[in-house]
Amino acid sequence: MFYRETGQFKTSYRTDQAVFPIKQDAIGIWVLLAILFIVVPLTFNDFWLNSIMIPTLIFSLAAIGLNLLLGYAGQISLGTGGFMGVGAYSCYKLTTIFPDVNILIPILLSGFVAAAVGVLFGIPSLRIKGFYLAIATLASQFFLVWAFGRIEWLYNYNPSGAIEVPTRRIFDIAVTGPHATSMTRYLIILSIVVVLTWVASNLVRGRIGRAWMAIRDMDIAAELIGIKLLQTKLTAFAISSYYAGVAGALMVFMWLGAAEVESFDINHSFLILFMVVIGGSGSLIGSFMGAAFIWVLPIFLRSAPDYIGLEIGAATVEHINFMVVGALIIFFLIVEPNGIARLWQIGKEKLRRWPFPY
């Protein structure tokens, strides 16, 4: 079947405003979900689930969070790593205090703590923009990491300073801790990411998303059509940090199993930022593409030479990875600011006309 929208007439504004107004896209997304929920668990081994699928999903969630703030609302943040930490430590404290509560609840609630912290550190965005805001959020990043290291209560006075994830069960099935299987964890993460992605797409398609984009594109005009800058920016910081917080909690509880201060350092903030830039700022699909790309590239570089019988040292692979990612960031910043997502869209537009040149 050709990829076409001809003949698909929208008879109501409701269908016209759907997430995927073109039928082939809507079918495509259901097929993709079926693959992710059924085919992947049946066919992927532990290595694939643990090293590729799980981290890609978690980073995608964090990237969506940053994308809402940066790509939609136009407010830069270098504090993603710190906000992920707030989520992880909150989740740890919540499940320590309420050990019998279903672990999914602390995970989803920890996002609210991150949201509150995000709002607090988002307040400077009222007065400052761009580069200076980046520096202010950088300060929040350093402050948070400092707090994670210094406040012993946060890691239950553990002498090592690390948080270690306890085993938690849902219906007698271990979902966190050493007994939880990759497949269980993968399916839980996937479900959370799918739901939160759907929520993000709801937000950006409506009034909230338009208010964000308006202040991104021209804050003076935004104020003039009745948008309150303070409220809109802080909402963006709150929701963005919620996503980062949940991603941080998932990262520790459902992937790493333990974490210390370094797990939330500035490198993570940059990692997520690069995922947004390369994937496409202002695109939810781009967040997934960027996360997958940045996460999988080094794994690919490490294993590809083996397949073709080349011997390349681990250090060299690291360097190549840095160079490729660096070059791509520059490429996307200069040539295609809307990232891989835009290339994907251009590809689809070509496909819509194919095989006719016009």
Per CB under 8 A, does 25 bind another protein? no
Residue in 49, 227, 250, 317 binding another protein, rule: CB under 8 A: 227
DSSP string, 322-355: HHHHHHHHHHHHHT-TTHHHHHHHHHHHHHHHTT
Please give the structure tokens belonging to residue 110.
């920890």
Nearest to 233 by CA among 65, 70, 63: 70
Closest CB 311 distance from another protein, rounded Å: 47
Out of 1, 9, 11, 14, the residue judged to bind another protein by CB under 8 A: 14
Closest CA to 107 of 77, 84, 79, 78: 84
Measured between alpha carbons, how far is 192 from 116 in angstroms, rounded to an integer?
Answer: 21
In angstroms, rounded to a whole number, what is the distance separating the alpha carbons of residues 336 and 342? 8
For 140, 161, 274, the CA distances from 167, given in Å and listed in that order, are 32, 19, 33
Distance separating alpha carbons of residues 27 and 25, to the nearest angstrom: 5
Establish if 224 lies at the interface with another protein (CB under 8 A). yes
State which residue, 72 or 295, has the beta carbon closest to another protein: 72
Of 204 and 291, the one with the shorter C-beta distance to another protein is: 204
Q: Could you tell me which stretch among 2-10, 121-129, 221-229, 302-310 binds another protein (CB under 8 A)?
A: 221-229
Interacting span for another protein (CB under 8 A) from 54-62, 100-108, 185-193, 223-231: 223-231
Which residues, including other chains, have CB under 8 Å from residue 125's CB and lie 6 or more apart? Answer: 75, 133, 136, 233, 234, 237
Q: Least distance to another protein from the beta carbon of 273, Å?
A: 19
Which residues, 158 to 217, sit near another protein by CB under 8 A? 199, 202-203, 205-208, 210-211, 213-214, 216-217
**In the complex, minimum distance from the CB of residue 71 to another protein, in angstroms, rounded to a whole number:** 10
- Considering only 67, 77, 235, 241, the residue that binds another protein (CB under 8 A) is 235
Nearest to another protein of 205, 350 (CB atom) = 205
Distance separating alpha carbons of residues 318 and 87, to the nearest angstrom: 29
Among 1, 225, 308, 315, binds another protein (CB under 8 A): 225
CA distances from 286 to 154, 292, 344 (A): 34, 10, 9
Burial grade of 112 (CB within 10 A; 0-12, 13-18, 19 or more): middle
Q: Answer yes or no whether residue 233 interacts with another protein by CB under 8 A.
A: no
Report 281-320 residues binding another protein (CB under 8 A).
Answer: 282
The count of chain residues that interact with another protein, using the rule CB under 8 A, is 29
CB of 223 to another protein, least distance (A): 5
Q: What is the DSSP string of 11-27?
A: -SHHHHTSSS-SHHHHH
- Chain contacts with another protein (rule: CB under 8 A): 12-14, 17, 199, 202-203, 205-208, 210-211, 213-214, 216-218, 220-228, 235, 282
